[in-house]
Chains A and B, each alone.
Chain A
C-alpha cells in the first residue's frame, strides 16, 4: 500500500524525522489558508499523486510541471489552481495519468547539498538495508548504473538494529561532519525506527538535504507498506486513498482475486500467481498481448469466477478471454460448471478459450462441451494460447 508525500511527511514528523514545514489542501477553497500557515515565500507547490517523476510531468491540458517553485504566495496560488483537478502524466503513471486531488504547499528550503536515502528489504540477506548516496535529487537507477561507487549500503541485523560503527561508516562515506553528521545520524536512526515500527516495505527520501545552517531535512518522502502487515496498523490503513487505485483492482480484492490491468487485448483468468504470469508470457510468445494479470487463487469458486469475468469484461480493450486452470485439488467439473454459469450470467459475446487440467478433467471438459456455449477447448497451455491469439487476430 502506498501513501501520499504529505502523509509520509506527517508520519516522519511523528518519528522525529525533520521535514520542511508544509500544509496540504484538498480543495481550492483551502489554498489561501494553507499558504497563510507557511512562513514567507518562496514556496514549493507539489501535486499529490502516487507516482514519481512529478516535477518533470506534464498535465493533460499541456500545463508543465507537477512540482513548482513559487517566488511569491500569489504565484503559488496560481500554480495550485492550475494543478488541482488536472490530470498529471509522469514516467510512472502511464499515458492515462493521475488526477491531482490534493496540493501540498511547503516552505522552500535553502539547499546546501542533496543526498539520497532509502530503507528497504535486502533480499539476499533477508535483512533491512539502508541505501544512501551523495548523488541526490536525481534518478537513483541512473546513479547505480553510471557511478555505482557513489552508492553506499549498510545491512541491518534485525536483532540489534543499526550499530554505531555502521552509522559512523555511513556518515563518513557521505562526507558529513560536525552538526550535519550529528543531525544526519539522528535522522537516519529515527527513519529506521519509522520503517521498522510501521511495517514499511520501502522508505525513500530523494532528496535528503543539508542546509547552510547545518540542518538535515527530508525534502521528499515516498513510503509503501507491507500489505500483509496492515492488519496491525489501522492508523496506516486510514491513509489509503482509493482515488489512486484502479477501480477494477479494488473490486477484484473484494473477491480475493489478484488483478492487475495491462494494456493488451487478451484477458486471462488463471489459478496461481506463477501460472498466471506464465499464461501472460505464453500469450505474448504466440504474438498476442495480455490485457491483465488475474489470479483467482487456489480455490476458484463459482462466485469468484463470475466476479472475475465481470471485472475482465469491464475493460473495453478486451477482445478475447483465455481461462487456464490447473485444478489440482479442486474438481475440474466444479470449475467447468462455474465457467458455464458465469458465461451465461454475463452474456459473453467474445471468443473464449478454456484450458482445463487436473482432477476429474474428463467430466469438466464434457460439461464445457455440452454447455451449448461457443467456447473453444485448449489441450495444453501452448495450444490454448495459440487458439486465443488466432481468434482475436
Chain B
C-alpha cells in the first residue's frame, strides 16, 4: 500500500514535449512508471519515444483521458501557462494533478485554488518535486515516480515523508534507505505560499494508510501549515512522527529561495514551530542529518517497527 499513487497508476504528462518535461518523462519511464500519455496543444497525434516506449501525445487532457484512462496528470508547462494546465486537468476529472512548475504568479494560484475548491481533483504543488511510491525492484524500480525526484534513492517500505523542499525530501529518504528503512510514499508539497495540498492533508492520508508505520514531517519557516499539522497529530495520530524545520538562521523579512519561506511574524519562526512540535509529541530532528534517527527514536519509544 501507499498513498495517492501506486505502481498501477496511469500518468499523463502536460508539457512532455518540453526539455524539462521530456527529460523527466524518460527518467520516470526508466523507473517503470506507467506514463500512458503526453499532452501538448497542437502536437496531438505525435509520439514521445524513449527506448522501447512510445507514448501517444494528445491535444487536450480530456482526449488523453478518454483514450488512455489516465487518472493523474503531471504539469511541467512554463509558468505563464501552468495555471491553465492545472485547470484543464481538474476539468477532465482527474484524481490528482501534480504541478512541478516553479515560478507561477501567486495571483494565478489564488484564482486556481478558488476555481478548484469543491472539485474531486486533488492538486499537489506547484513548485514541488512531486510524489514517489517506491517499487519492489532493484533501487526501488517498478514504482511510481511523478516529478523530478531521483527514484533510485528510495526503498519500498513503511515510512511516509512529507516536505515542501525537494532536496530535503531526498536527504530524508536517503538517510532512511541508508539505514535499511523503506518508504511507503514520499510527497513534496512545494515551496509556494499558495499550494494545493498541505502538510496536514498528507499527514491525514499517511495516518489512514495501514502500510505507513511512521512519518517524517519536514517544514520551513513561514506560514502556519506545520503548526496546524502538529496540532492535528497530537489529537489524532498514534504513529511515530519525526519533524524538522529548516530556516532557524534565516533573518526575518528575507525570502529564502522558496516563495513561502519568509518569516513574517513571531509565530512562523523555526523556533516557534519547533516548540509546537515538541509540545505535540513530535520527535524533533536537531539537525537535518538527524531526520531518520529522530524517527527511529520516536518509533522505539512507541514500540513500533519501521522496517
Contacts and interface: CB of A to CB of B under 8 A. Distances in A.
- Real complex partners, A and B? yes
A109 B113 CA distance: 42
Contact of B105 (A158, A229, A274, A357): A229
B148 A121 contact: no
Interface residues of B, number: 63
Contact of B167 (A229, A258, A274, A383): A274
Interface string A269-284: 0111111111111111
Interface stretch (B62-70, B234-242, B256-264, B275-283): B256-264
Interface stretch (A4-12, A14-22, A124-132): A124-132
Contact of A158 (B114, B165, B171): B114
B149 interface: yes
Contacts of A383: 289
B287 A282 contact: yes
25 contacts: A159-B111, A159-B115, A196-B107, A228-B104, A228-B259, A231-B80, A232-B80, A260-B254, A271-B167, A272-B257, A273-B256, A274-B168, A275-B246, A277-B257, A293-B256, A298-B148, A326-B170, A326-B174, A328-B153, A328-B166, A329-B148, A358-B174, A381-B288, A381-B289, A385-B287
A274 B174 contact: no
A196 B247 CA distance: 30
B110 A128 contact: yes
A362 interface: no
A358 B166 contact: no
Interface of A: 92, 121, 123-124, 126-128, 141, 144-145, 157-159, 196, 199, 201, 226, 228-229, 231-232, 258, 260, 262, 270-285, 290, 293, 295, 298, 326, 328-329, 357-359, 380-383, 385
Nearest to A226: B106
Contacts of A270: 167
Contact of B103 (A228, A326, A380): A228
Contacts of B114: 126-127, 157-159
Contacts, number: 167
Given A231-B80, A272-B166, A358-B170, A328 B150 contact: yes
Contacts of B194: 121, 123, 126
B200 to A, nearest CB: 12
B44 interface: no
Interface of B: 27, 79-80, 103-111, 113-115, 148-150, 152-153, 163-171, 174, 191, 193-194, 218, 220-225, 244, 246-251, 253-254, 256-261, 265-266, 270, 286-290
Interface centre among B111, B149, B251 (most CB of A within 10 A): B251
Provide the main secondary structure of the chain A interface.
Answer: mixed
Of all A-B residue pairs in the complex, the 6 with the closest CB atoms, nearest first, are A274-B165, A273-B257, A272-B167, A328-B150, A229-B105, A275-B167
Contacts of A329: 27, 148, 150
Contact of A274 (B104, B246, B253, B254): B246
B149 A328 contact: yes
Given A126-B194, A357-B174, A278 B246 contact: yes
Given A124-B224, A228-B105, A280-B249, A275 B110 contact: no
Given A199-B107, A273-B191, A326-B170, A126 B148 contact: no
Contacts of A196: 107
Contact of B250 (A272, A277, A359): A277
